[in-house]
Amino acid sequence: MSQGKQEEGLKAIFHEITKTNIDDLVSDRAWGSITFEGSRKDLERVFGICNHFKLLPMELLPEDIASAIITQGNTVNSVLGKIRGFTIEQDNPSAVRNSIAAELKKAVDAFYKASHIYVPYLAYQKGEIQENLRNLTKSVSEARGQVDSAKEYADAKMTEIDKVVASAKEASASVGVGHFTSDFSGEAAELESAASKWLRATIALASVTFIFGIYFINSDPDLDTVAKSIQYISSKILILVLLITATLWCVNLYKATKHQAAANKFKSNSLKTFQAFVNATDDSAVRDAVLIETTRAIFSESATGYIGGEGGGSEKSTKIVELVRNGAQTASAVSKSS
């Protein structure tokens, strides 16, 4: 057999073997649940060898070896023809399928043994191995350089991201603290205005009470009967009691409003102090300590001196302070470990 005919025979058998896709050989809608899925690895093996040979200089194979490969290839193609012509309308299709699968495995093993050892030789003769190795080495070196460059870039960007995140956290905290500081200051101003109104009302009622008291002392009514005396005295007492009660009520409201105004002012000053300490130091321990004390100042009852019985919320404020302390300690531990 001449080299030209030898090459044509090899190409023809390889084409015949691979002309049908593996998926189409493995299963067919007309077969139902019967498939050649168990033969997929054998099919992939023979298809892989054939596809390799298609790209290689097959004319370099000795005649006897080429003939052996063609012979084994014809055997494989014959079994594949049985798969292509398989139908479930025959007797016992499952047994037939199993018989074809066993015959295919035997044929593929024989074809593989006769052909696979010549693939590296032909690939080397084609002259692509060394070139591929050089290209692979070059690609690996370029890839390594790109990886190192990407790692340096990623590290630099990660540092920038950490700085941006830290700045964003500080800015967010400052905005939040500034917002609440403004709220407390505004509430304190409104309460101061309300307290001034209650003070004026207290002064007015006290003045009216004083005037009525002086008038009642200096008045000289005509009390010629006991009934008139009782009526006169009771009316004076009722008026004075009402005026005194109204005055005391205004006093209590004034004191309560002043207390709330002073408490809100105290909380506003506490947040301003917190901002000053946070902006003045980078020590997390100092920030945590100031945060705890600021929380205590906000959530605890402030002793303003305007009303009695203060400090009733000490238990609640203590729980909140403990919660903030634990959160600050946890955040500090996480930041140190990272």
Look at residues 127, 155, 188 and tell me which one is the last residue of a structural domain: 127
| Average pLDDT of the residues in 196-225 | 80
| Confidence at residue 116, expressed as pLDDT on a 0 to 100 scale | 84
Residues 98 and 185 in one domain: no
Residues 237 and 325 in one domain: yes
Residues 177 and 325 in one domain: yes
Q: Is residue 192 over pLDDT 80?
A: yes
At 244, the pLDDT band (50, 70, 90 cuts) reads confident
- Domain membership of residue 266 (yes or no) is yes
Structural domain boundaries enclosing 197: 171-337
The pTM for the full model equals 0.39
Alpha-carbon separation of residue 311 from 163, 253, 255, 277, 300 (angstroms) = 42, 19, 16, 27, 7
Residues 188 and 322 in one domain: yes
Look at residues 69, 102, 127 and tell me which one is the last residue of a structural domain: 127
| Average pLDDT of the residues in 101-118 | 90
| Alpha helix ranges (H) inside the chain | 3-18, 22-26, 40-54, 63-84, 93-115, 119-125, 129-218, 226-280, 284-299, 314-337
Residues 228 and 113 in one domain: no
Higher per-residue confidence, 184 vs 51: 51
Residues 190 and 324 in one domain: yes
| Average pLDDT of the residues in 186-199 | 84
Q: Is residue 322 over pLDDT 70?
A: no
Rounded to whole angstroms, the Cα distance separating 104 from 97 reads 10
- Domain membership of residue 141 (yes or no) is no
| Confidence at residue 147, expressed as pLDDT on a 0 to 100 scale | 82
Q: Which amino acid type is present at position 270?
A: S
| Average pLDDT of the residues in 206-215 | 84
- Domain membership of residue 166 (yes or no) is no
- Domain membership of residue 138 (yes or no) is no
Residues 302 and 182 in one domain: yes
Q: Is residue 319 over pLDDT 60?
A: no
Please give the mean pLDDT across all residues of the chain: 77
| Confidence at residue 333, expressed as pLDDT on a 0 to 100 scale | 57
Residues 53 and 190 in one domain: no
- Domain membership of residue 163 (yes or no) is no
**Chain-centroid distance, C-alpha 115:** 55
| Confidence at residue 107, expressed as pLDDT on a 0 to 100 scale | 92
For residue range 47-60, what is the model confidence (pLDDT) as tens digits? 998 988 888 888 88
| Average pLDDT of the residues in 43-50 | 91
Residues 319 and 215 in one domain: yes
For residue range 70-79, what is the model confidence (pLDDT) as tens digits? 899 999 999 9
Residues 332 and 229 in one domain: yes
| Confidence at residue 259, expressed as pLDDT on a 0 to 100 scale | 82
CB atoms within 10 A of CB 153: 10
- Domain membership of residue 123 (yes or no) is yes
| Average pLDDT of the residues in 115-121 | 83
Look at residues 62, 93, 127 and tell me which one is the last residue of a structural domain: 127
| Confidence at residue 313, expressed as pLDDT on a 0 to 100 scale | 47
Q: Is residue 106 over pLDDT 90?
A: yes
Residues 122 and 187 in one domain: no
Of the chain, the percentage scoring pLDDT greater than 90 comes to 14
- Domain membership of residue 158 (yes or no) is no
Of the chain, the percentage scoring pLDDT greater than 70 comes to 70
**Total domain count for the chain?**
2
- Domain membership of residue 152 (yes or no) is no
| Confidence at residue 2, expressed as pLDDT on a 0 to 100 scale | 59
| Average pLDDT of the residues in 304-314 | 58
At 155, the pLDDT band (50, 70, 90 cuts) reads confident
Residues 192 and 61 in one domain: no
Contacts with 253 (C-beta within 8 Å, 6 or more apart), sequence order = 198
